[in-house]
A and B are shown apart, each in its own frame.
Chain A
Amino acid sequence: MQLFGIEVEWQPIWLTLEIAAMTTVVLLVLGTPLAWWMARMKSSNKVLLEALVALPLVLPPTVLGFYLLIAMNPNGMVTETLSWFGYEGQLTFSKTGLVIGSVFYSLPFAVQPLMHAFETIPNRLLDAAATLRASFLDRFRTVVMPLARRGFLTAATLSFAHTVGEFGVVLMVGGNIPGETRMVSIAIFDHVESLEYAQAHLLSAMMLVFSLAVLMLVYGLNRKFEVKVG
């Protein structure tokens, strides 16, 4: 397919969407219990955890990527551990490694909105549900999730969008293997390096429009799903 006379490269786009989607799913599954635990935490350890979760916000992505590269080296502990569970192959310069890196990179974008949503849910509502014979998982499903739905929507959209926009971590952990680890941001970098400005323009414009649309979606949903607690 051609757009404005330029051939669109679909491969990096599909790969980016695929990795962002997988990352979002993993983040919601792991981030929900973590955010719940942190939201109900009273001890001073909470400060440390909050700082750790927020770290990817301030750390240069290359630093995060560097450490992940070291951690996931083919003879390292992480790869060894995974191989016991039947994982074949290496983590660095592979899709799996990219997803793991993205999960760390986008962690605050999933955990922070979830944690804030959970914090606004009064304990007495959970107590009330308990006196009405609801088990913990039942309470979580029927009281917490509906009241925190804005948090879930924000967490999902932001994790997805932020993963789409990552560059430094991808470069360090994934490299630039077409069809395997070459995501949109890398492709743009590549084009600019090779002075292929037309290609870079097209991909950049697509990213710009996509990001704007996602952010508008988030803010729109926030307005629509406002939940009054009280």
Chain B
Amino acid sequence: MKTNHLKGNLTLDLGGFALNSGDFNLPMSGVTVLFGRSGSGKSTLLRAISGLDKRTHGQLSFANTVWQAGKQHRPTAERDIGFVFQDAALFPHLSVRQNLDYGIKRLPKGKAPADFDQIVERVGVAHLLDRDIGFLSGGERQRVAIARALLMQPKLLCMDEPLSALDWRAKAELLTLIEELVESLQLPVLYITHDPMEVERLADQVVVMADGRIQSVEPLTQLLNRADSPLFDHQGAVSVLQTHPLESGGVSQVRVADQTLSLPGSRATKGARPSQRQLSRVRILARDVTLALEDPHKISTSNHLVATVAELIDQDDHSLLVRLKLADEQTFFAEVTHDSAQRLQLSPGLVVFALIKTVALNR
């Protein structure tokens, strides 16, 4: 499938805050996350991209259609985008079904809406159709908002911190839903978040923002490869491995580089239908990885990955990051103290066993 590009350079002066994106050229496939702290301008950029703020200046085009040229702009309605807002933004005076119909009724003659029953079923709002908006939970509202956007058959789906107002359970369910939708609909997504966990779960490509400007655009794997990645917070370095889910009852297992990893049965998705996805991401905190020179057997830790030390990176006075490489070239970090590194005589090329507790892994 041909990849459409979103390219341009946008400025938007809000008085107290100014967006000055700099030139960008983003291939739109999979999930592109706009990441940055609050106040970094990610929402402003998304509003400028979607045409919601008329004060926007600059250049913007998507799939070779001009969306903005100087002050001239194509109205939001004609940009073929779907938008999911932080707090769903459902119309409180309409029922769920009327909310879903709102956009369908306004589609131009030549454009057919998506298959209503199919979308409603897939997003999990079929049983809510005749409800009043006031009686929906946070997760349900966000599902309705997603369905409402998808029914317009958009060419680009914009999501502005769609999970930030939700509790952890709803958040986990919706993350799974978004992953599945992205894969099955082949719809490019522009996704805003300040939560590194969401980036690690969803992103293919990460746009890092600070002070109203785009700082960098990198694939997730590359961004996570940097020892000083902006994604690392108080929990330290994080790695994401692409794995293949295995069919098994009870314990969930995945394969990576011809080795098997055991994952905790997720509490959030218990009872939910099994994921249909081809690839599954496993998120590992560097501080949860123990290194051993030989394979210990009498130990409760059940994941023992064979890996090669690729690089030692000094972090601070007492710890360092060990970059480990698997047979399939995927890398991940382990965080150890200088003392331990010396004791084990860690050096590039050394084959080690990386021990990771099952419960420390999350998908």
Contact = CB atoms under 8 A, between A and B. Distances in A.
A229 interface: yes
A138 B106 contact: yes
Interface stretch (B78-86, B291-299, B332-340): B78-86
A129 B85 CA distance: 11
B76 interface: yes
B87 A143 contact: no
B47, B76, B81, B158: most-surrounded residue (chain A CB, <10 A): B76
Given A124-B87, A138-B106, A131 B92 contact: no
Contacts of B89: 122, 124-125, 127-128
B102 A132 contact: yes
Nearest to A227: B93
B134 interface: yes
7 contacts: A127-B89, A128-B89, A131-B50, A131-B158, A133-B107, A134-B102, A138-B106
A230 interface: yes
A147 B50 contact: no
B77, B81, B90, B107: most-surrounded residue (chain A CB, <10 A): B77
A229 B93 CA distance: 8
Given A124-B87, A127-B52, A138-B106, A133 B77 contact: yes
Contacts of A130: 51-52, 75-77
The bracket for how many chain A residues form the interface is 20 to 34
B92 A227 contact: yes
B77 A135 contact: yes
B190 interface: no
Contacts of B148: 132
Contact of A228 (B78, B83, B92, B108): B92
A89 interface: no
Contacts of A138: 106
A76 interface: no
Contacts of A131: 50, 52, 76-77, 81-83, 103, 149, 158
Contacts of A132: 102-103, 106, 148, 152
Interface in A70-90: none
B78, B83, B107, B149: most-surrounded residue (chain A CB, <10 A): B83
Interface in A105-137: 122, 124-125, 127-135
B83 A146 contact: no
Contacts of B93: 146-147, 227
Interface in B133-178: 134, 148-149, 152, 158
B109 to A, nearest CB: 12
A122, A132, A138, A227: most-surrounded residue (chain B CB, <10 A): A132
Contacts of A143: 91
Interface string B16-34: 0000000000000000000
Interface in B45-81: 47, 50-52, 75-78, 81
Given A125-B89, A127-B85, A228-B92, A134 B77 contact: yes
Interface string A129-156: 1111111001000110011000000000
A142 to B, nearest CB: 8
A127 B152 contact: no
A184 B282 CA distance: 81
Contact of B152 (A122, A133, A227, A228): A133
Nearest to A149: B93
A147 B89 CA distance: 14
Contacts of B106: 132-134, 138
A211 to B, nearest CB: 31
B90, B91, B152: most-surrounded residue (chain A CB, <10 A): B91
A35 B86 CA distance: 28
A230 B85 CA distance: 13
A86 to B, nearest CB: 38
A133 B91 contact: no
